[in-house]
Amino acid sequence: MHTYTEEDDRIARAVIEYCLDRLKMDVPLDTPRSAEQLADQAGETITPKGIGGDQALQLWANAIGPACLSVDHRRYLSFIPSAPTKASSYFDMLVAASNVYGGSWLEGSGAVYVENQALRWIADLAGLPAEAGGAFVQGGTVGNLSALVAAREYALYRRGSRPARWAVCVTEESHSSVKQSVKVVMDADVLEVPADERGRMTGPALRAAVEQLAPETRDGIFAVVATAGTTNLGIVDDLEGVADVASDYGWWLHVDGAYGGAALAAPSARPLFRGIERADSFIVDPHKWLFAPFDCCALLYRDPVLGRAAHTQRAGYLDAVNVNSEWNPSDFAVQLTRRARGLPFWFSLAVYGTDAYRDAVERTLTVAREGAELIRASEHVRLLVEPDLSVLVFERIGWDAADYARWSAQLLAEQLAFVTPTRHQNKVCTRFAIVNPLTSADDLRLIIESMR
């Protein structure tokens, strides 16, 4: 099985040809299938003798692949889509074929070197100091968890003892992964700060909420999580005000920019992020709005020494890689074995240049503003939240949950678009999440008109 044969060569060429053809074409949205449909179309695929490369690839092309939605379709506007560049997709194949281990400098120094250059570009956008650094991790969930683990370890080091209960300040709009990490994984308390009318955490609201807490509860706070682009609404918290409160109390400030942090690349949006340069840790997912393939989250620490102190694993078999002068990505997160997942992002940055990234993000912001104007000008829909970034939340006047569900299903069945309902202030509505530079105002107009 491990000896390279002519059959392997033929399969490789067929797979590469399929990938190249797909990257060249305007792919359909595709549709989910039921388990029964997939059983009928694909059947049993794992057999004692194998089914061979031709049949396996044919099954993927004709049955399995079409049951997976094309997240990079220009009218895939649900959740937070992904729109990887062609160069990053090509290089993702190379990374897989090269089988680079990206956990340590010893085993992947070349990969780590250029990944760090990509991290440096992001750190510079956020205004973090020259010594800032970190690693690319699987996604925002791992990034947020890793940053908060480092924050708690630093708090324990500073105070020398544990409080009755550790606690983290968030808002209702904070990503679900933050709350899950704090409550379930870290067994700490989530303190939900009331958001303002736009869903933002503000410095004054944070201070007021904390001052009302019992001293024992307040004593356990070790971090506050501000969001630079909430997932549902696309709103940026009052980072400057939150940073002031965190500084006064000596808390760790973590900024979750998984979606919205990419807008730092756009000069028009940068004023929204005032105060982000004061973050102790920061994440952004290049697989969301920085045009990289899944899965890729950039995790940055203001002081990487604190990340390393929390996450470096010790064992006899790791002595060879635990060298203080070397940069091991596995030292900065809840991970050890690690794919060099930042390489496709680095390659795309190197190929196209950062100016192209700036222009692409600006393009999506422009389309979002045009979409907001379309909604305002239409009598049958209503904009519910004035957008900060590229998420548009709006309602079809007079519709209930069943109406939205029927409309969403019909859009997908007709292969027109993928737009799903959401909730805002306990009311069913819908939203556009625009991160693909190929999405146009005409695409949004088509979808808005379908709601008449």
Nearest by Cα to 141 from 333, 389, 390:
333
The pLDDT of residue 102: 96
Element (H, E) at 167: strand 167-170
Kindly tell me if the per-residue pLDDT of 383 is higher than 80: yes
The pLDDT of residue 1: 58
The pLDDT of residue 125: 98
- Is position 239 within any domain? yes
The pLDDT of residue 163: 97
One domain, residues 359 and 347: no
C-alpha distances in Å from residue 439, one per residue of 74, 82, 281, 416, 426: 5, 12, 32, 13, 29
One domain, residues 157 and 283: yes
Q: What percent of the chain has pLDDT over 90?
A: 93
- Is position 340 within any domain? yes
Kindly tell me if the per-residue pLDDT of 128 is higher than 90: yes
- Is position 30 within any domain? no
Q: Any alpha helices (H) in 231-317, and if so which ranges?
A: 239-249, 286-289, 304-311
One domain, residues 302 and 392: no
CA separation for the pair 413, 425 (Å, rounded): 29
Which of 14-18, 44-48, 288-292, 417-421 shows the lowest mean pLDDT across its residues?
Answer: 14-18
- Is position 73 within any domain? no
Vertex 430 angle, CA 426 and 432, to 5°: 135
Q: Give residue 411's domain range.
A: 354-449
The pLDDT of residue 287: 98
One domain, residues 278 and 379: no
One domain, residues 120 and 131: yes
pLDDT digits (tens, 9 = 90+) for 403-430: 999 999 999 999 999 999 999 999 999 9
Phi, psi of 421 (to 5 degrees): -70, 160
One domain, residues 301 and 418: no
- Is position 2 within any domain? no
The pLDDT of residue 78: 97
One domain, residues 254 and 380: no
Beta carbons of 313 and 336 less than 8 angstroms apart: yes
* Domain total of the chain: 2
pLDDT digits (tens, 9 = 90+) for 82-110: 999 999 999 999 999 999 999 999 999 99
pLDDT digits (tens, 9 = 90+) for 306-317: 999 999 999 998
CA separation for the pair 287, 297 (Å, rounded): 7
Boundary-marking domain end, from 311, 330, 352: 352
The pLDDT of residue 42: 94
The pLDDT of residue 231: 95
The pLDDT of residue 25: 83
Kindly tell me if the per-residue pLDDT of 22 is higher than 90: no
One domain, residues 159 and 189: yes
Element (H, E) at 405: helix 401-413
The pLDDT of residue 246: 98
C-alpha distances in Å from residue 127, one per residue of 196, 205, 237, 406: 26, 25, 17, 46
The pLDDT of residue 284: 98
Kindly tell me if the per-residue pLDDT of 168 is higher than 90: yes
Boundary-marking domain end, from 294, 317, 352: 352
288's tokens: 């969301």
Element (H, E) at 54: helix 53-59
pLDDT digits (tens, 9 = 90+) for 28-52: 999 999 999 999 999 999 999 999 9
One domain, residues 269 and 293: yes
- The CB density around residue 382, as the number of other CB atoms within 10 Å, is 13
Nearest by Cα to 436 from 314, 299, 262:
262
Boundary-marking domain end, from 299, 326, 352: 352
Kindly tell me if the per-residue pLDDT of 323 is higher than 90: no
- Is position 17 within any domain? no
| CATH number of the domain enclosing 418 | 3.90.1150.10
Per DSSP, the residues of 59-128 read HIIIIIGGGS--TTSTTB-SSS-----HHHHHHHHHHHHHT-B-S-HHHHHHHHHHHHHHHHHHHHHHT-
One domain, residues 124 and 257: yes
- Is position 206 within any domain? yes
Beta carbons of 285 and 82 less than 8 angstroms apart: no
pLDDT digits (tens, 9 = 90+) for 262-277: 999 999 999 999 999 9
One domain, residues 232 and 364: no
CA separation for the pair 187, 179 (Å, rounded): 10
CA separation for the pair 163, 379 (Å, rounded): 55
| Residue whose token pair is 């390489």 | 343
**Burial (CB count <10 Å: 0-12, 13-18, 19+), residue 46:** exposed
CA separation for the pair 409, 403 (Å, rounded): 10
Kindly tell me if the per-residue pLDDT of 439 is higher than 80: yes
Helix (H, G, I), strand (E, B) or coil at 395: strand
Work out whether strand 297-301 and strand 381-383 pair parallel, antiparallel, or are unpaired: unpaired
The pLDDT of residue 23: 86
- Is position 268 within any domain? yes
Average predicted confidence (pLDDT) for the chain: 96
CA separation for the pair 209, 212 (Å, rounded): 5
| CATH number of the domain enclosing 280 | 3.40.640.10
Per DSSP, the residues of 312-358 read ----GGGTTT--TTS--GGGGSS-SS-B-TTHHHHHHHHHH-HHHHH
0.75 surpassed by pTM: yes
One domain, residues 199 and 237: yes
Kindly tell me if the per-residue pLDDT of 221 is higher than 90: yes
